[in-house]
Amino acid sequence: MSKIRWVVTTEDSPWVEQESVDTGPLTGVPSAIVQLNDPQQTIEGFGASFNEFGWDALTLLSEADRDDVMRSFFEPGAGLNLSLCRMPVAANDFSRDWYSYDETPEDFALENFSIANDFDTLIPFIRAAKEYQPQLGLWASPWSPPTWMKRNGHYAGQQPSPLMGNVENGLRDDQVQAENTDTFIQDDRHFDAYARYFGKFIDAYAEQGISIGMVMPQNEFNSAQVFPSCTWTPEGLARFITHLGPEMAKRDVEVFIGTLERPNERQAEAILEDAEAAKYVRGVGVQWAGKGAVAYLHRNRPDLRIYQSEQECGDGLNDWRYARYAWSLMRHYMTHGASAYMYWNMALLEGGVSRWGWAQNSLVVVDPQTKTYRFSHEFQVLRHVSHFVETGARALPTFSFMGYDNQIAFANPDGSIVLVVQNDMRVPLHYRVVVGERVLEVDLAADSFNTFVVPAA
């Protein structure tokens, strides 16, 4: 029988291949059992987001180094194996600045629509990824519609905040927006123009050889932010989806609800209860506090695909503490029905500060002085899952007799089993796990992440 592969990461020693593991008889009460006979959701892929600041950081590197980074992100078998990624529809919070694809007031015919801005950043970034992963799947969401489609006439919804470093955005007091309101102008003329705006975006990228397979109508539709944002009520979003859905159907592009960033399942349910909108909805994107709604949605809407659409993005320190937290997020989503998992920033400069002042983490950190890069701890944690779990894998539940539930497991299409385990204690942990008829018994290093790949029986 083939040996079991075992890879270990600690804070000081990432990605260390261990001696292969033999299986043996069950000698005591197991720490956990992988339940092979109860496969759960199908895994559609792992990914991250294409952002302007990410490409700006990578262009500081030598061509050879940049190629090495892109290979580590996208080449199958080389690193993260990213296969399903997110991109913005025009500006987001890690853009160079605010822009939309049509800022000409009252241009309902969209005669001035243009993606010219993206030729310097997003398009080359995506093309570089497709060099290593030609089958890369893409989905997109806007952070803000064009300003002339909004009641406040501005890209933002809130004024400068200490959290963001009090970076000025030019929003007046009378333009401030609030959660649970519709900032987008609620009439058919604006809905129709905005749906066609999405269509032109899909078509313009297709002309560049970049296919986008799914859209979500709004990033964080409950949040008025200091950066590009737009609040919607569920009812307002449902009204727009009845226009967006037919426009996307012409192009065979799916529509998801999203992104949901509040722990309130009713904000998704209210959209799905609109029969006209619901017939176009194929899934839901969930992020940040929305994780509190995931279990409900998975249980009550079993046919609704769930994407974890943006991993909580840290504070720019890229430390081990946050990598450990990132693991807890991944485990939460994967055990509650998520079929795809999205990291956020692929690459940022050291410190990771956005145009609007928010410092965030990234998979690769670029030093602008030396023009060198390093992989972050979160890169290694994500790699422990995404490197081994193939598209089409099924999530597997695990059960513990000993109160140990700090693992996730998957069955790959070839029959191999991937088991990822964290020992979150400061001392080694003796770990005994049953996988079908096989028993693994190992000592996990203190404060470590471990992946076991068990070949098909």
Which domain CATH number covers 118?
3.20.20.80
Q: Is 93 exposed, middle or buried (0-12, 13-18, 19+ CB in 10 A)?
A: buried
Q: Which amino acid is at 155?
A: Y
Three-state DSSP class for 72?
helix
Q: What is the CATH number of the domain that holds 401?
A: 2.60.40.1180
Q: What is the pLDDT of residue 1?
A: 54
Contact 194, 184 (CB under 8 A): yes
Q: How far is CA 214 from the centre of its chain?
A: 14
Up-side HSE of residue 162: CA atoms within 13 Å toward CB?
0
Positive or negative torsion for Cα 198, 199, 204, 206:
positive
352: CB partners within 8 A, 6+ apart: 314, 316, 318, 345, 359, 360, 361, 362, 365
Q: Count Cα atoms within 13 angstroms, Cβ side, for 182.
A: 15
406 and 372 share one domain:
no
Residue ending a domain, among 388, 417, 437, is 388
How many H helices and E strands in the chain?
10, 21
Confidence (pLDDT) at 21: 87
- On whether both 227 and 332 belong to a single domain, the answer is yes
Q: Do residues 363 and 379 share a domain?
A: yes
Q: Are residues 420 and 321 in the same domain?
A: no
Query: pLDDT at position 376, please?
Result: 98
Cβ proximity of 142 and 91 under 8 Å: no
Last residue of a domain, one of 350, 365, 388: 388
* Same domain assignment for residues 245 and 224: yes
Quote the pTM value: 0.97
Choosing from 371, 388, 405, the residue where a domain stops is 388
Same domain, 265 and 404: no
pLDDT tens, N- to C-terminus, the chain (457 residues) = 578 999 999 999 999 999 888 888 898 999 999 999 999 999 999 999 999 999 999 999 999 999 999 999 999 999 999 999 999 999 999 999 999 999 999 999 999 999 999 999 999 999 999 999 999 999 999 999 999 999 999 999 999 999 888 999 999 999 999 999 999 999 999 999 999 999 999 999 999 999 999 999 999 999 999 999 999 999 999 999 999 999 999 999 999 999 999 999 999 999 999 999 999 999 999 999 999 999 999 999 999 999 999 999 999 999 999 999 999 999 999 999 999 999 999 999 999 999 999 999 999 999 999 999 999 999 999 999 999 999 999 999 999 977 789 999 999 999 999 999 999 999 999 999 999 999 999 999 999 999 999 999 8
How many Cβ atoms from other residues are within 10 Å of residue 10's Cβ?
Answer: 17
- 226 and 99 within one domain: yes
Q: Count structural domains, the chain.
A: 2
Residues in the chain: 457
Q: Is residue 217 domain-shared with residue 264, that is, in the same domain? A: yes
Both 78 and 213 in one domain: the answer is yes
Distance separating alpha carbons of residues 311 and 386, to the nearest angstrom: 14
* Same-domain check for residues 107 and 175: yes
Same domain, 370 and 441: no
Structural domain boundaries enclosing 447: 5-39+397-454
Clarify whether residues 271 and 331 are in a common domain: yes
The predicted structure's pLDDT at residue 401: 79
CB 385 within 8 A of CB 407: no
